[in-house]
Amino acid sequence: MGRCRFVPPYLLARVAPGSLVVDEALRAGRAVPVEVRRVPSAAPAPAWTVHTADSTTTLPGRAVRSAGSPASGDIAVDEAATGITGALALFAEVYGRASYDGAGAPVSLTVHYGQDYDNAFWDGTQLVFGDGDGRVFERFTKPVDVLGHELTHAVTEHSAGLVYRDQPGALNESVSDVFAACLKQRLLGQTPDEADWLIGEGIFAAGIQARALRDMAAPGTAYDDPALGRDPQVGHLDDYVSTSDDNGGVHLNSGIPNRAFQLAAVAIGGATWEGAGRVWYDALTGGAVGPTTEFAAFAAATVAAAGAHADAVGSAWETVGVTPGASAAGSPVPAAGARRVSVRRTGGFAGLRATGELDLDGDDPRVPEVAALVDRVDLRAATGGSPQPDRYVYAFDLCGDSATVPEQHLTPDLRRIADLVLEA
């Protein structure tokens, strides 16, 4: 997964272009002025360790506090410690997940990153938090849901692996907000009706006309300030923003599934983290959601995971304009006219050709399994390489995504798709 930022780039460009420059340099793999140096942790590692970068961009920085140690007196360090303790407890105690990878991986966090750095992110290795510029943003460890949001990016990376672009990317962002809200409400002991559903409340400096960075209950209303502009998030599919910015508008369009979750949580009732949160977690990790899952397929997965609350969850999605897909296994929702899967096999010792095609909107008994497999496959990440003598070469077209894959590089899912579609 790519580097996942808490503050959307359209907002950074407006109020903190310096932070955006650092972000883009890191994302592009370019050097930044301060050397990036990673120091291996001593073994056995504690459940979490908070470091300070001492206002540099060196990662992970100097270790300050680890699990089981007392408060350090550094407010950012101690806020990070409180947040990571609560977030890990949420996933462990409610969902039975040991750390972000499900296997107890130690969590590395860094605070005091950069100078006046207006962001927080998960870089695939650790959680990183800036102190803000003091003019628009305060420190990013202040709202506990920021930490919950970033840790959930790691959970998503190690479960569904939603690609960080377009609808799957917006779902990636939304899932992080979902469990950030669950964390905040759990720590405060709030019900869905009592919660404010704000993400990043308290992150803005005094004088900024903003309640938070996002409002899950009312996307597009979190702020309206001369320095920030007006919150551009959308909360209904009719208003979906098609753009090349922000990885296809992942922070803009995440308001749509955010609103669906808020509505589902209120309808289900009880504790959000045990009700709607359990449904969303089961959908995310149950195998029905994959890297390229889009809104309708994710909605279908949540309905399938909701049990007795299926009608409430389905109604929540319908309210934001998303009709859960026909396949609860999470079939993709490609562009109109693209719901076909074709496979062409060439090569081999005899040089024979085999072709097959399957209409995912048809009633062929192979459709449910093929749809689920297609959803899990990120064809863009399929390994290429040169063909080998007398081995087959497969040309796949999966609902508009195409790739040619030598036989030796077929994943189990691609091989199963080929077997099913080429079936006589």
pLDDT tens track for 383-417: 566 655 656 778 888 887 888 888 778 888 898 99
Average pLDDT along the chain: 87
Fold adopted by 163-333? Neutral Protease; domain 2 (1.10.390)
Residues in Cβ contact with 83 at an 8 Å cutoff, skipping those fewer than 6 apart: 141, 144, 146, 147, 148, 183
Q: Do domains 1-158 and 163-333 have the same CATH topology?
A: no
Instruction: Specify the pairing of strand 107-111 against strand 127-129.
Output: parallel
pLDDT digits (tens, 9 = 90+) for 190-210: 999 999 999 999 999 999 999
Give the chain's length. Answer: 424
Count of Cβ atoms closer than 10 Å to residue 4 Cβ: 24
> Reduced to 3 DSSP states, what percent helix, strand and coil does the chain have, rounded to the nearest 5?
40, 15, 45
Lowest mean pLDDT, pick from 235-239, 261-265, 267-271, 347-351: 347-351
pLDDT score at 327: 39
Of 112, 149, 251, 309, the active-site residue reads: 251
pLDDT score at 399: 84
pLDDT score at 372: 86
> Looking at the predicted structure, is the pLDDT value of residue 2 above 80?
no
* pTM (predicted TM-score): 0.74
Give me the mean pLDDT over the 67-73 stretch: 96
Give me the mean pLDDT over the 115-140 stretch: 93
Indicate the angle between helix axes 255-268 and 166-188, nearest 10 degrees: 40
| Distance in angstroms (rounded) separating the CA atoms of residues 127 and 60 | 9
| Distance in angstroms (rounded) separating the CA atoms of residues 121 and 108 | 12
Active site (annotated) includes residue 309: no
Task: Quickly state the pLDDT bin for 343 (edges 50, 70, 90).
Answer: very high
pLDDT score at 298: 97
Q: Closest Cα to residue 151, out of 60, 86, 221?
A: 86
Q: Contact 346/370 with Cβ under 8 angstroms?
A: no
Domain extents for the chain? 1-158, 163-333, 340-421
pLDDT score at 4: 65
> Looking at the predicted structure, is the pLDDT value of residue 326 above 70?
no
Give me the mean pLDDT over the 168-179 stretch: 95
> Looking at the predicted structure, is the pLDDT value of residue 177 above 60?
yes
Of 51, 112, 138, 150, the active-site residue reads: 150
pLDDT digits (tens, 9 = 90+) for 271-314: 999 999 999 999 999 999 999 999 999 999 999 999 999 999 99
Instruction: Specify the pairing of strand 198-199 against strand 127-129.
Output: unpaired
Task: Quickly state the pLDDT bin for 50 (edges 50, 70, 90).
Answer: very high
Top-tier CATH class for 1-158: alpha beta
| Distance in angstroms (rounded) separating the CA atoms of residues 256 and 296 | 11
Active site (annotated) includes residue 150: yes
